[in-house]
Every structure is written in C-alpha cells, then in structure tokens.
Chains A and B, each alone.
Chain A
Amino acid sequence: MAQGKVYSSAKAALADVQDGSTILVSGFAGYGVAWSLLDALVEVGSKDLTVIYRDGPLPEGTGARLPAINNLVTNGLVTKLISPLPFLPGNGGAIEERWLSGDLQIEILPQGILVERLRAGGAGIGGVFLPTALGTRFEGDKERRAFAQGEAVLELPLKADYALIRVAAADTLGNSIYDGSGRNWAPIMAMAARVTIAETGRIVEPGELDPEAIISPGIFVNRIVAAE
C-alpha cells in the first residue's frame, strides 16, 4: 500500500527539501499562507532556496505584519526571490536589507505574467504569448511576435520543486477546498510543483467534501499536514 498523503508533522513533510530547491509559497496579504510549513522549513534549514511568492506586506495603517517569507530570508536560507511584490521600500525589513547589500537576488514581474508562467509549467505548456508586457520595462529582450489580435511577448513556463499551500480542508486523497481569499495562488502553485504540501485545519475522509466544490483535486496535492 502506498504511503498515505497525511504526514505526522510539517517538518516530516519537508524533510526531503534539498539545498538549492525552488519553493512556491502561496498567499495574498497574509490570506492563505502556510505559516506552519514556513516555520518548519526554517527548522529544516535547507539553503540556497529560490522562492516564488506574491503574498506581500500589508500597507501602512492596516496592521503591521511581516511578509510570509521573512523568517526564511532572515535566516539566510533564500538566495533568490521571484515576486510581483517583494517588499515596500523603507519598510522591507530583512528582505530589503539583504537585497540592498547584494545578498539576495530579486526578480520582479507582474503577477498576471507570473501566474500564467506557473500555470504553463503546471499544465505542460512550453510557453505562452501574452500582450501584457508589451512596451513595458518587463518586455526586456523577450521574443515579440505579431498575431491577428496584435503583438504579444513570449513568456516561458516556470516550475518548482515544492509548493507550500494553505487549504481550508483536504480529504486524505488530497482533494482540497479553500476559504475566500485563501484561494489566491494556491491552485496554480499546486499544479506547478513536483511536490505540493498542503497544511490545513481540517483533514477529512474521502466523500466528506462535495466533489463539485473541490478546487485542487488530489492529483495536485502530494502531502497533507494538520495545522492550527
């Protein structure tokens, strides 16, 4: 019988994360962030990580909260960030400091392009022609081509080793649902990673979730961890 998907702890689910891995971290302004997995990843201590995430800090006046990946960066585990919103200048804490000192590379790109590149990675697409970056600083030297609708820019797929996501509930087969803004990047990140690890406050038996309601089918969710 195959190893079940439910792991005893966040640390156990992350035990095989190698140095140099690429990690997807779900979250939007603190919603849908896998905090337990992120804490455990700091404990596991894998280094030279490339982290792809949106989350983003909350703007001033809405409550001070550090970005989800702050601890990973503070502990010197991250070499590169790919994000549409890595930090707010002057309020970026460790991320900004390490970026300014050259210890952290940051690749910034618009979130609609990032999410489509991740989807392409997860869906086996070799590249997509999108009009979004046309004429902007994000076009760079990417290939530009004319189609019937107009010009578009070639964006290449992105894949990762792991995705750390937060789901509202999962059955033991990995079928998962989300709660409100917690959905955000998770369904796409779950597709784009070789191993997707979901933390959730609610693990149920197969059949307890409405099959019409499932957003991330179990084929995209490899490991499940109970979390607060």
Chain B
Amino acid sequence: MALDKERLPREVVAMRVARELPDGGFVNLGIGIPTLVSNFIPDGSVVFYHSESGVLNCGPLAEEDEQDIDLINAGGQFLQMVPGMAFFSTVDGFAMIRGGHVDVTVLGAHQVSATGDLANWMLPERGVGNIGGAMDLAAGARQVIVAMEHTDRQNNAKIVQDCTYPITGKGCVSLIVTDLAVMEPTPEGLVLKEVAPGWTVEEVQELTAAQLLSAPDLKEYEL
C-alpha cells in the first residue's frame, strides 16, 4: 500500500528545488520547505535572496544572542548582517517582485491545480487568512516553484484537477516539487517528470487528484 511507504525527507525536496535556481539569480523563498532551499545551493554557484521585509542579499539567520528586531526576514526570523545587503521600503520591495526582477520564488501550498493554479493563503474552514506577499509573488516572479508535501497529513491530495480552496494566482506555478515527485503544469495537463526512489507512477497517481501525464523522459528523482 503506497500510503505507508517512506517518502523523501523535506531536506531532499529542498535539495531538488535548489537545482532549479539560476546561478546569480534573485530568489524569494517562502516559509516551510522553501526556507530550507538556501541550505543546498550547489557549490560554485551563488543565489541572492530577496525578502519582502525590505532587504536584499540576506544571509544566514542570527544567533540567539545577536538578534536585532530591526533585521528580520519575511518569516519574522532574525538575520545576520552580511556584506552586500541593501535595505529598501516595502513599495520598492514589491516593485522588484511585480516588475519581474525576482527570477524565482519558491512557495508552499495548500493546493496546486493541474494547470498551475496556486492556493496557499486561506483554509476555507478558517474563514480568514493571510495573503501577505504571496499574491504578488505568484503574479510577479518570473518563475513560481511550489515545494511541499505531496499530500496533507490525512493523505488528502494537495495536487488537484481544480483548486477548491481560494486561489492565490491563476496558472502561475511552473514546477511542483514534492516528497514523491517533480511535476510540471502545462496547458495539456500535469506532466510527471521525476518520481521518488522506490515509488511507481501508479503509486504517485493514487495520491494525486489530477491526471498525471508521464513525461517521455520520466526518470527517478534527480539530485
């Protein structure tokens, strides 16, 4: 039974996403698995991080005894001061996003549809949610990658034919990386490109509420 099989750890998902980031590019990371991506940038390449909190070229998190309330990332974590940082206002920070200056954003999601709709700001049962910078990133970043667990904790599919949750952006997701697979939403449907080791296409399909189209060069999860 597929449900019991071991899935890839979050770190491996982050490692897989890190391969997608352009060398020298500007990247905005969301909260959760996306945050981990910065730990796995391949040797010899460099990525510059943009944060909606108003800072470019963010580096590592601050040690507990060096926390400064005036130096945070968008997730509210305290940052270390690193050479090459630049501070700016929120309006400039979002001009960077909407203006197409941010190459990639990596976001988590509640649901992603086969055509790349993203839902990540509100759980319907809560009735209220936080949009924060998510809609601007979905609409503005050149490339939107979703990094998440393939299903929720109750094994409900998060990859669906059509989102039932309120969406953040329409057709904006270009790649979905989960603990089971790598998929690409296309106008023709959801293309399965890579599968986690030990998993079959059928098993992944079982946990996916959208029809998967196997890519001609379908392969094992590549790190």
Contact = CB atoms under 8 A, between A and B. Distances in A.
Given A123-B99, A217-B56, A2 B86 contact: no
B127 to A, nearest CB: 30
Nearest to B101: A219
B83 A1 contact: no
Contact of B140 (A124, A175, A219): A124
Interface in A85-126: 119, 121-125
Given A1-B45, A191-B101, 18 more contacts: A1-B23, A1-B46, A2-B22, A2-B23, A122-B95, A123-B94, A123-B99, A124-B98, A124-B100, A124-B139, A175-B57, A206-B57, A206-B84, A207-B82, A217-B92, A218-B56, A218-B86, A219-B101
B139 to A, nearest CB: 8
Given A2-B24, A3-B24, A124-B140, A217 B86 contact: yes
A211 B86 contact: yes
B95 A124 contact: yes
A54 B183 CA distance: 48
A206 B83 contact: yes
Given A1-B45, A123-B99, A191-B95, A219 B84 contact: no
B150 interface: no
A161 to B, nearest CB: 14
Interface in B47-61: 48, 50, 55-57
Interface in A158-204: 171, 173, 175, 191
Interface string B60-103: 00000000000000000000011111111000101111111110
A121 B99 CA distance: 7
Bin the interface of chain A by size. 20 to 34
Interface in A4-27: none
A123 B93 CA distance: 9
A53 to B, nearest CB: 21
A214 interface: yes
Given A122-B95, A191-B99, A218 B48 contact: yes
Interface of A: 1-3, 119, 121-125, 171, 173, 175, 191, 205-208, 211-212, 214, 217-220
Contact of A123 (B44, B46, B48, B95): B95
A190 B102 CA distance: 14
Given A122-B99, A124-B100, A219-B96, A214 B23 contact: no
Given A123-B95, A206-B83, A214-B86, A1 B48 contact: no
Identify the 8 closest CB pairs spanning chains A and B, nearest first. A2-B24, A207-B83, A206-B84, A124-B98, A123-B95, A217-B86, A214-B86, A206-B83
Interface of B: 22-26, 44-46, 48, 50, 55-57, 81-88, 92, 94-102, 139-140
B87 A212 contact: yes
Given A1-B44, A2-B23, A217 B88 contact: yes
A217 B87 CA distance: 8
Nearest to B136: A124
27 contacts: A1-B23, A1-B44, A2-B24, A2-B25, A2-B45, A2-B46, A123-B95, A123-B99, A124-B95, A125-B98, A171-B84, A175-B57, A175-B86, A191-B95, A191-B101, A205-B83, A206-B84, A207-B82, A211-B87, A217-B96, A218-B56, A218-B84, A218-B86, A219-B26, A219-B48, A219-B101, A220-B101
